[in-house]
Amino acid sequence: MDLGGSWRAALGDDLGRRTFPEIDLDDSGWQKVAVPGHWRSVAAFSDSDGPLFYRRRFEAPAPLAGRRSWLRFDGLFYQGDVWLDGSYLGDTEGYFFPHTFEVTEALRDRSEHTLAVEVTCAPEPERTAKRNLTGVFQHWDCIDPSWNPGGIWAPVHLGETGPVRIAGLRVLCRDASDLRAALDIEVELDAAEAASVTLTTIVRAASGEEEIRRVAEEAVAAGHNRARWRVTVERPRLWWPHVMGDQPLYDVEVSVALQGEPGGPSAAGHTSEAESGSPSDSRTVTTGLRQVRMRNFLTTVNGERLFLKGANYGPTRRELAEAPANRIAGDVGLAVEAGLDLLRVHGHVGRPELYQAADRAGLLLWQDLPLQWGYANVRRQAVRQAREAVSLLGHHPSVLVWCGHNEPLALDPTPDGSVSTRQAMRFAVGQALPSWNKTALDRSVRRALEKADASRPVIAHSGVLPHPGGGTDSHLYHGWYRGDIRDLAASFRRLPVLARFVGEFGAQAVPDSHEWIDADAWPDLDWDHLSAHHGLQKAVFDRRVPPAAFADLDSWRSATQAYQAEVIRGHIEHLRRLKYRPSGGFCQFLLADAQPAVSWSVLDHRRRPKAGFAALSAACAPVIVVADLPPATYAPGERLRLAVHVVSDRRVALAGATVTARAAWPGGGHTWRFGGRVSADSCVLIGRLDARLPAVPGPVTIELLLTWDGGTVSNRYTSTITAQHRGGSSHPLG
């Protein structure tokens, strides 16, 4: 039974808490609210931080003899206390996984029922020592910090089982090859009393052409029980990322049935479960058979190496309940269209439709837990939620890697992006020194993930720069927070480990959908409001693309998008040139907005692309020809020296590859032609450009054309000869 739809709600307080669960309470004057939903989406609660009292009346038949009834909440932000017919059932904590309560006796007592839930999603008073594990929903520079995601955001169900319920099912594919694949299955059983049961496992291809059946007998005690086993699939059809192959899927059905001799009709006159032969409970998940490995951020899928081209993906909408399935599938499709292999599900767990769409599309996922910046006294809860994440998502072949915590530092960034010297020093020192978040919390979360799921790599945290005591991937914002994109080469030469995986980079840009900005007020926009509620970092824009230099909003918007595109292109081209030596890939920040924002996204909240989306797509094409990024300016008479590389992600060699390069400058130019072998999945230095530039100021263009049997790609760079020569930034590490 679906218990969604129209509920009644009222603001919670200490006085109401004593009476709101009562059956006879008159709630006719309470506000109507939608479940699933968020209370902020209701006008009466649009600025409320709760808590809220929720109530719903329903009718349900009494369960038959030998049957058990269960109330299940699929998602609740963030904590809940649940009553049925005035009796307390228990509490919940954790927004992304289900919470279930047995209600068998309550449903036998009466046919009309009152369900009451107190829902709490308290603001964090100390944002560097948070207690709610809500990740980016309550603390992120891409969602309005005044937003509260509170509410019963996912469906509520009433269901039935026999005496033994499957309380949890975990299906993991640890090993897979062309010869065989192994599925490790773990089931948690909730038995009303001690019994002997039969566990049946059926693995079948989604096409229905293949089926593997395993039957085993188990003795269970009253209460909670666990059972583990392995199913081997011979000659499996392997699941691949979309750039490497197909995405066949398998259904895994697990059922439990009581053993014993058939008995007579029950006292209620109903046939017992043993007589009918039907299972007491069953669960089915859809999975794919593949093997993933990662070492030093170099990834293999089914034994084949893959350079990861990715982007960070925040919530589809900040109102998670209101994110439509077609929008989620559309975002996955846009990522594939852009040539991406990977989405990093940044600082949150998304809706089920995200993982289903990624499985079908062959798009890999880097899955963060909802841990963002600083926390205090949450280790036990974080460990519990890590295990729940594995149970919820472990069967999805698209999930490549678990990441425990994003930037585990006590940070609370200022809305406008300004950083004081003291803050910068604290951030730098915090990267290297032990802390409770990095050392205690993240170590416990990592161990919990590794114990729960040995089939995938686990990263303790993201964004801790490499240092003698550890470090993981790099968050490099050259061209935004620090330095210039031309500083990347010097940074990587100085510390090559920075390039092994860059988990964040990019620049903000104003979207085309900016009706929420008062363009007529230019240049006197409400900068404080845009910073506080829409993420705009005015202090950084004043350094990078100063609004004061533009006559109107549209010209500034175009300039910010052009600058963002330049930053994205520069990072990706350089990292692809370091393919496997030492770079394993990257994740651009950010694919799409969850709300109206001026952010790092390349798709705005309406999914209108910025110029950065085209730059991302071009830089992530399967084959690219690239040169060293030339200085912004050359001095008159200076030498032009640039290396030219061809990068190919194709699984076959490029036959007959030829590169033609032409540099043009005032009064002349030069042409080079190179040929050579471009192996499969490789980066090749194909030649060097070397020429003396004239003493005449003016533009310099470098055009590259790569041709091979069956394809052509090109690229273009610009610079300027000027007497006021500035070159690139002089700060290699920003």
Query: Position 712: which residue type?
Result: T
- Specify if 562 maps to a domain: yes
SS3 track for 354-379: HHHHHHHHCCEEEEECCCECCECCCH
Residues 85-124: pLDDT tens digits? 999 999 999 999 999 999 999 999 999 999 999 999 999 9
Give me the phi and psi of 402, to 5 degrees please.
Answer: -95, 140
Question: Is residue 65 helix, strand or coil?
Answer: coil
Which residue is listed with tokens 């949450």? 378
For residues 207, 212, 215, 221, the Cα torsion angle rounded to the nearest 10 degrees is -60
Query: Position 416: which residue type?
Result: D
Burial 697-731 (b: 16+ CB within 10 A, else e): beebebbbbbbbeeeebebebebbbeeeeeebbee
Give me the phi and psi of 334, to 5 degrees please.
Answer: -65, -35
Q: Please name the residues in contact with 520: beta carbons below 8 A apart, sequence gap of 6 or more.
A: none
Structural domain that includes position 631: 626-721
My answer on whether 201 and 256 are in the same domain is yes
My answer on whether 391 and 317 are in the same domain is yes
Low-confidence ranges of the chain (pLDDT < 50): 261-276, 729-734
Q: Say which CATH number the domain at 98 has.
A: 2.60.120.260
Beta bridge partners of 312: 344
Which among 554, 586, 620 is the end of a domain? 620
Q: Classify 418 in phi/psi space as left (phi over 0), alpha (psi -120 to 50) or beta.
A: beta
Return d(Cα 306, Cα 300) in angstroms, integer.
Answer: 6
Residue 617 CA to chain centroid, in angstroms? 19
Res 271: pLDDT: 39
- Specify if 604 maps to a domain: yes
Beta bridge partners of 640: 691
My answer on whether 384 and 498 are in the same domain is yes
Using CB atoms within 10 A of its CB, is residue 249 exposed (0-12), middle (13-18) or buried (19+)? Answer: middle
Nearest to 571 by CA among 495, 629, 636: 629
Nearest to 390 by CA among 431, 451, 312: 451
Q: Are strands 474-475 and 458-459 parallel, antiparallel or unpaired?
A: unpaired
Beta bridge partners of 304: 301
Using CB atoms within 10 A of its CB, is residue 338 exposed (0-12), middle (13-18) or buried (19+)? Answer: buried
Query: Which pair of tokens denotes residue 336?
Result: 């594939």
Whether 636 and 723 have beta carbons less than 8 Å apart is answered as yes
My answer on whether 570 and 590 are in the same domain is yes
My answer on whether 46 and 145 are in the same domain is yes
Q: Say which CATH number the domain at 373 has.
A: 3.20.20.80
My answer on whether 155 and 186 are in the same domain is no
My answer on whether 272 and 170 are in the same domain is yes
- Specify if 728 maps to a domain: no
- Specify if 483 maps to a domain: yes
Residue 1 CA to chain centroid, in angstroms? 31
Give the CA distances from residue 615 to residues 102, 224, 572, 611, 618, in Å, rounded to whole numbers and listed in that order.
53, 53, 10, 7, 5
Res 196: pLDDT: 96
- Specify if 733 maps to a domain: no
Length of the chain: 734
Burial 73-102 (b: 16+ CB within 10 A, else e): bbbbbbbbbbbbbeeebeebbbbbbbbbbb
Give the H/E segment covering residue 335.
helix 325-337
For the chain, how are helix, strand and coil distributed in percent, rounded to 5?
20, 35, 40
Domain count, the chain: 4
Return d(Cα 627, Cα 91) in angstroms, integer.
Answer: 59
Return d(Cα 491, Cα 496) in angstroms, integer.
Answer: 8
- Specify if 727 maps to a domain: no
Note if the bond before 408 is cis, omega within 30 degrees.
Answer: no
Give me the phi and psi of 119, to 5 degrees please.
Answer: -110, 130
Q: Classify 530 in phi/psi space as left (phi over 0), alpha (psi -120 to 50) or beta.
A: alpha
Which among 287, 311, 332 is the end of a domain? 287
Which among 553, 585, 620 is the end of a domain? 620
- Specify if 59 maps to a domain: yes
529-534: Cβ within 8 A, 24+ apart: 530/598, 531/415, 531/416, 531/417, 532/144, 532/145, 532/146, 532/415, 533/144, 533/145, 533/146, 534/144, 534/595, 534/596, 534/597, 534/598
My answer on whether 490 and 504 are in the same domain is yes
Other CB atoms within 10 Å distance of the CB of residue 328? 22
**Neighbour order of strands in the sheet with 87-93:** 31-35, 5-11, 52-59, 112-120, 79-84, 87-93
My answer on whether 513 and 581 are in the same domain is yes
The count of C-alpha atoms lying within 13 angstroms of the C-alpha of 529, restricted to the half-sphere facing its C-beta, is 7
My answer on whether 131 and 207 are in the same domain is no
Using CB atoms within 10 A of its CB, is residue 620 exposed (0-12), middle (13-18) or buried (19+)? Answer: buried
Using CB atoms within 10 A of its CB, is residue 193 exposed (0-12), middle (13-18) or buried (19+)? Answer: exposed
Res 439: pLDDT: 93
Query: Which pair of tokens denotes residue 572?
Result: 């990706």
Nearest to 160 by CA among 279, 275, 35, 286: 279
My answer on whether 38 and 89 are in the same domain is yes
For residues 523, 528, 534, 539, the Cα torsion angle rounded to the nearest 10 degrees is 80
Q: Say which CATH number the domain at 243 has.
A: 2.60.40.10
Strand locations in 533-591 (E): 585-588
- Specify if 726 maps to a domain: no
Return d(Cα 199, Cα 187) in angstroms, integer.
Answer: 10
My answer on whether 183 and 145 are in the same domain is no
